[in-house]
Amino acid sequence: MSSPAAAPDDTPSADTQQHGAAKEAAASKAPGRAKPGRQARGKHSGRCSHLAGKTKAVIDRLKVLVPYASVCKHRQALLQGRRGGSAAAAAAAATAGDREGTPAAGEGDRSRKRLVDEMPAPTCTTCHTPGDRLHACLTCDHYGCWQRAKHDTPHMHQHLAASGHAFALDFSRLVVYCAQCADYVHDAAVDAWLLGAQMRWHAALCDAAEPEAKRPRIVSTAGDLSPAQAKYLREHGALQACGGVRGLRNLGATCYLGAVLQALAHNPLVRGWMLSDGHHPATCRAAPCMACELDAAFQALFAADAAPFAPTRLLRALWLLRADLAGYGQQDAHECLMALLDTLHTGLAGAAPPRPCTCAVHQTFAGLLQSTVTCARCGNTTQAHDPMLDVSLDIPAPRGVRALDAAAVQWAGGRAGHVTSLHDCLAHFTRAEALAGYACLRCGTPGAAVKQLSIKELPPVLALQLKRFRHGARRGAKEDAFVRLPEHIDMTPYTSAALASRSQTLAGLRASLGHAVSSTGGVLPATVGGIPVVDRNAQGADASAVPRDTPLPVLSGPGGSSTLGKRRTDARHSNPACQYVLFAVVEHVGRLDTGHYTAYARQRAQWYRFDDAHVAPADIRDVLALAEEAKARAGRPAVGRAYMAFYHKQVLDYHDGTAAAAAADGQAGQMGQVNTHVDADGEFVEDAGTVRMRTSASGDVRVERRGRKKGAAKPQRPKPLPRASKPRATDDNYDAAEEGEIDEFIIAGSLGSAPAAAVERKVESESDSDGEALWDRINRARAPDLVPMGQPADALLADRPLFVDPAAIHQPLPPLPAVPAAALPSVDSNDFDDDASDDE
């Protein structure tokens, strides 16, 4: 939502990229290299003066190299998608007795071979090894490795020195190396281009990793502005200094509210929505309305005022709306968050929300939980899906209690001072549980079954709660165990697709071959070259314990959960759409009945600690509690305080009503066909396929874009539709979605950016061709008796920092003659295309 440079440490390129992952030694260097890249970008000298003058030539060369590198790197992942449902393919391959452990069935093998033949992996020109941090010369066709062991200087250095060529590209990390700086360098133009390229590949890889996945997409981040409104803002608006680090006064044991509000205020999607006028208090008739109060609170929090803010009105609204939270008692922060989200949803979406709800709350937090129950007798599985707004995780016992775990620990060399990580909690959450007395629908007999939870759809913002408060029958207790929260997390292993794919492969292989099966699905011979092969599953005595002739539950055998838990990350491929970054943590100190909540949150790549009215810059070390972790590792008691953690996706999926989406949507083939009606609420609704525009009597305009309809018959494509509206297209990385066939708009995870970005966006979003067309149309088609837009309560809005006066915007537009909607041409596509080609 802002240029990638705004939050350099969030860009995917700064992540670890292991080179010789096979050799963990090589891998261990990676962050060491990644980190200074980030440093370099922050300082001015990260700019390379040598590169600055040659960006065009370098980018020309990158245009050839980057696709090649991407294909080499993601070959297998891309092919997996082409084969269709990977789980099904894997199971089929496994039961067919295919000895290839990977789900590389016939067709996949063939096309992979073709791809390898066409684009063989490059090797070092000097020593012909394919690995070892290959770099490609950006001047000639030379490839060089970075191997140091036997040579004084890496082969790539030798080449650059000998030939005098200036730049090289790290082939797997896609970073430019400058020979004269003797370091990796960054240039705004080159980095923007690289980021755009990565985003394009990201989309392809996400689709490949989960071909039929319905990823929740952000339909719209806020009320869209018309070009006229944008023009007005540009001319009359003023940008404010950024706030966002303002304390919240404690109004009498309301630290729970303060902590949750801070976490919400630094949630990039909620913040973006609220600060860009996603909800108009002036036009809202509900009272009390949580959305209005939150809007006011956000305005105050992000004002350039440093004095603590007292959210009295918000608290009052909360008490009125939720009687159970009223009073001066101490409340649970998680309960408070749920209440806030619930009331906020009501405030934003009204009484009858569409399904799926497109309000800011659901676009941000809503995911889908899957519960799979497998009958132990007949292997029949049933799945149930439940919507979720957050995930509540139990904290499992810190040390392996069962013999199985003890064996695993011993096998791994006996670690002392095990640290419970978030992985343990998530693995515990998605473990296979034995159900007793389950009545199977197929075999009809009550009996045992295995139940497993998994995440079917991951939300853009993942809210995790660690269940620290246990309410027992007699007395409750607080769990103080330390849980290590990672800054980055890959949620792929806990998704339904990954779990199903893995267990099917295993079950199929076991059933068909009866061999000991390694955890990767490969079949291990008993010995190789006289060395006995240790299979950890067999050692764990769960795989072999299950008789081979009984149908295996799809989700691993009974009792297999602990091994599964350990090995959960063995999903075939990690899905790039499942990568998350931490942005807020709510902590609790004290006991069950009394205590204090504080929050950590990230704002513009800087962490802050919010303790009621006090705000102080914080270090990521404190957020992750590295000191406590060191204690736990040393075997000393460590206290865990983290109660809730909020992660956002590294790359967001935006869905905008693009030409492709419109074409896929049966009725929207003809843009001219617009249904207009006045709905029950007195709103003027204009329905144009994927885009629906509502104009309420009070002047509130809302443009909704609906998701692509799945399974709708594809109509023959009519005339080319205007290209996607790109209201969020103010970034350098914007060209990501302009080229090619990508139908979603994606912005890199530079979410730690400022509210100013959200405000600026208002000003700059003028390339909104959809919106423009609609705006035109609504002007022409509006019946004269409808209340025109405008007449807002000016007095109410006078103190709003950036306020659009609809009346003022409205006047410059000349009155348009009434034209039948069907006769409207699809305007503006030319303008937009010009822009697009310029960017390329």
Partner 1 sequence: MSQQEMGVREELLKRFIESGERERLQEILRSKLYISGWQDRVKDKCEKFVHESGEGVEKLTVDGIAEAVTPYARASIPEDIKAEILEDIRAFMFRTLPKVDS
Map the footprint of partner 1 across residues 267-286, applying CB under 8 A. none
Instruction: Say how far apart CA 450 and CA 433 lie, in whole Å.
Output: 5
Place of tokens 């002739």: 549
State how far the Cα of 106 lies from the Cα of 112, in Å rounded to an integer. 10
User: Shortest distance, CB of residue 266 to partner 1, whole angstroms?
Assistant: 19
C-alpha distances (whole Å) from 622 to each of 103, 270, 465, 487, 630 are 43, 25, 19, 12, 12
Binding of partner 1 at residue 624 (CB under 8 A)? yes
Among 85, 353, 356, 522, binds partner 1 (CB under 8 A): 522
Closest CA to 344 of 299, 397, 389, 310: 389
> Does residue 418 contact residue 408 with C-beta atoms inside 8 Å?
no
Nearest distance from residue 423's CB to partner 1, in Å? 4
Q: Show contacts with partner 1 in window 564-583 (CB under 8 A).
A: 566-567, 569-574
Given 143, 167, 184, 684, the residue binding partner 1 (CB under 8 A) = 184
Region near partner 1 per CB under 8 A, out of 127-135, 249-257, 434-442, 639-647? 127-135
| Near partner 1 by CB under 8 A: residue from 513, 620, 660, 787 | 620
Task: Say whether residue 421 binds partner 1 (CB under 8 A).
Answer: yes
Q: What is the spatial distance between Cα 762 and Cα 778, in angstroms, rounded to a whole number?
A: 20
Q: Between residues 79 and 265, which has the closer beta carbon with respect to partner 1?
A: 79
Among 250, 520, 544, 676, binds partner 1 (CB under 8 A): 520
Q: Which of 47, 50, 75, 313 binds partner 1 (CB under 8 A)?
A: 75
Instruction: Provide the minimum distance between the beta carbon of 695 and partner 1 in the complex, in angstroms, as a whole number.
Output: 46
Name the segment binding partner 1 (CB under 8 A); options: 76-84, 246-254, 302-310, 783-791.
76-84
Q: Phi, psi at residue 702, to the nearest 5°?
A: -130, 125
Q: What's the min distance (Å) between Cβ of 31 and partner 1? A: 4
Q: How far is the CB of 133 from partner 1 (least distance, A)?
A: 10
Q: Least CB distance from residue 184 to partner 1, whole Å? A: 5
In the complex with partner 1, which residue's Cβ is closer, 470 or 621? Answer: 621
129 lies in the binding site for partner 1 (CB under 8 A):
yes
Of 458 and 737, the one with the shorter C-beta distance to partner 1 is 458
The binder of partner 1 chosen from 57, 64, 116, 384 (CB under 8 A): 116
Give the footprint of partner 1 on residues 1-20 (CB under 8 A): 15-18
- Give the integer Cα–Cα distance in Å for 106 and 103: 9
Question: In the window 436-465, what residues touch partner 1 (CB under 8 A)?
Answer: none
| Whole-number Å distance between alpha carbons of 30 and 184 | 13
Which one among 536, 596, 631, 709 touches partner 1, defined by CB under 8 A?
536
For residue 409, what is the enclosing H or E element? Answer: helix 403-411
Binding mask 31-50 for partner 1 (x = CB under 8 A): xxx-xxx-xx--x-x-----
Choose between 100 and 833: whose C-beta lies nearer to partner 1.
Answer: 100
- Nearest to partner 1 of 525, 711 (CB atom): 525
Question: Are 298 and 236 within 8 A, CB to CB?
Answer: no
Nearer of residues 573 and 588 to partner 1, judged by Cβ: 573
CB of 427 to partner 1, least distance (A): 10
Looking up tokens 């460590």 gives: 638
CA distance 327 to 213: 44
Longest CA pairwise span in the chain (Å)? 90
CB 648 within 8 A of CB 341: no
3-class secondary structure, 8: helix
Q: What are phi and psi of 715, to 5 degrees?
A: -80, 160
The H-or-E segment that residue 761 falls in is helix 755-764
Q: Does 153 bind partner 1 (CB under 8 A)?
A: no
Is the CB of 447 or the CB of 522 nearer to partner 1? 522
Residue ranges in 755-774 that form contacts with partner 1 under rule CB under 8 A: none
Return the H-helix or E-strand segment holding 677. Answer: strand 675-678
Closer CB to partner 1, 36 or 447, in the complex: 36
Q: Which long-range contacts (CB under 8 A, 24 or more apart) does 550-554 make?
A: 551/378, 551/379, 551/511, 552/379, 552/507, 552/510, 552/511, 553/374, 553/375, 553/376, 553/379, 553/381, 553/432, 553/450, 553/507, 554/372, 554/374, 554/379, 554/381, 554/500, 554/503, 554/504, 554/507
Regarding 626 and contact with partner 1 (CB under 8 A), the answer is yes
- Least distance (Å) from partner 1 to the CB of residue 123? 8
Task: Give the number of other Cβ atoms within 10 Å of residue 467's Cβ.
Answer: 14
SS3 for 583? strand
* Least distance to partner 1, CB of residue 520, Å: 5
In the complex, what is the shortest distance from the CB of residue 582 to partner 1, in angstroms, rounded to a whole number?
A: 10
Q: How far is the CB of 2 from partner 1 (least distance, A)?
A: 23
Side by side, the strands of the sheet bearing 691-695 are 675-678, 684-688, 691-695, 701-705
For position 85 contacting partner 1 by CB under 8 A, the verdict is: no
Q: Which of 7, 48, 66, 77 binds partner 1 (CB under 8 A)?
A: 77
Nearest-angstrom CA–CA distance, 628 and 118: 52
Q: Which is nearer to partner 1, 130 or 788 (CB)?
A: 130
Nearest-10 Cα torsion for 676, 678, 679, 684: 80
- Contact 17/30 with Cβ under 8 angstroms? yes
Q: How far is the CB of 810 from partner 1 (least distance, A)?
A: 51
Strand positions, DSSP E, 171-292: 176-178, 183-185
If binding is defined by CB under 8 A, does position 186 make contact with partner 1? no
CA-CA-CA-CA dihedral for 674, 678, 679, 685, to nearest 10:
40
The span from the CA of 757 to the CA of 731, in Å, is 10
By CB under 8 A, tell whether 24 contacts partner 1: yes
The whole-angstrom separation of Cα 485 and Cα 260 is 18
Residues between 236 and 255 that touch partner 1 (CB under 8 A): none
74 contributes a contact to partner 1 by CB under 8 A: yes
Q: Which is nearer to partner 1, 36 or 801 (CB)?
A: 36
With CB under 8 A as the rule, give the number of residues binding partner 1: 83
CB of 60 to partner 1, least distance (A): 25
Between 628 and 656, whose beta carbon lies closer to partner 1?
628
- Which CB atom, from 102 or from 392, has the smaller least distance to partner 1? 102
CA angle 729-291-278, nearest 5°?
A: 20
Q: Tell whether residue 584 is a contact of partner 1 (CB under 8 A).
A: no
Residues 391-420 touching partner 1, rule: CB under 8 A, are 408, 411-413, 415, 419
Tell me which residues in 470-489 interact with partner 1 (CB under 8 A): 484, 486-489
Shortest approach of partner 1 to residue 632 CB, angstroms?
11
